[in-house]
Structure 1
Amino acid sequence: MEVGKVLLFLGLLLVLLGLLFLYAPKLLSWFGHLPGDIRIERDGLKVYIPIASALVLSLLLTLLWNLLTLLRR
């Protein structure tokens, strides 16, 4: 891979990460509160099992990985 392409990719990645850090709290406020996420709160006990959130995150990462491998060909 050429150095220019690597630098462009890293620059784009940094821009996307910057946008994520700026807007993620507003855009992803629903994440972690999906139907299917188990939350148990009792006296002195808090249990949180993010089943639906983990499935959504896994799906998004799988799609991203497949897109990147498709673009590398």
Structure 2
Amino acid sequence: MNEIPKLLIGIGAALIVFGVLWQFGGKFISLGKLPGDIIIKNENSTFYFPIVTSIVISIVLSLLFFIIGRFR
């Protein structure tokens, strides 16, 4: 039962670090504006669908979880 709180604390700390890096590193890495992301601008509205960004994040997370799983 002691493993779940430690896991949640670790995930929370990782999310905080990731959020801070994204906030300050966003000036250098434009992750949300990759070629292939869909942007439709009309007079009164804007539709933005980051399809390529979602694919890149999915690949990175899949590789990360695969590596973590190999060391368990």
Fold match, TM over 0.5?
yes
Matched AA of 1:27 = G
5+ long unaligned stretches in structure 2: none
Q: Which has the higher helix share?
A: 1
Identity of aligned residues (%): 27
Q: Deviations over 1:16-50 (max 9, x none)?
A: 33322322112245011111111111111211121
CA RMSD of aligned residues (A): 2.2
Instruction: Say if 2:56 is the partner of 1:68.
Output: no
Provide closer, same or farther for how the CA distance between residues 10 and 53 of structure 1 changes in structure 2, counting only shifts above 3 A.
same
| 1:18 pairs with one of 16, 19, 32 | 16
Paired with 2:26 and 2:60, the residues of 1 have a C-alpha distance of 13
| Alignment size in residue pairs | 68
- 1:36 is aligned to 36
Q: Give the residue type in structure 2 aligned to 1:35.
A: P
Greater mean deviation of Cα atoms: 21-30 or 36-45: 21-30
Unpaired runs of 5+ in structure 1?
Answer: none
Distance 1:71 1:39 in 2: 40
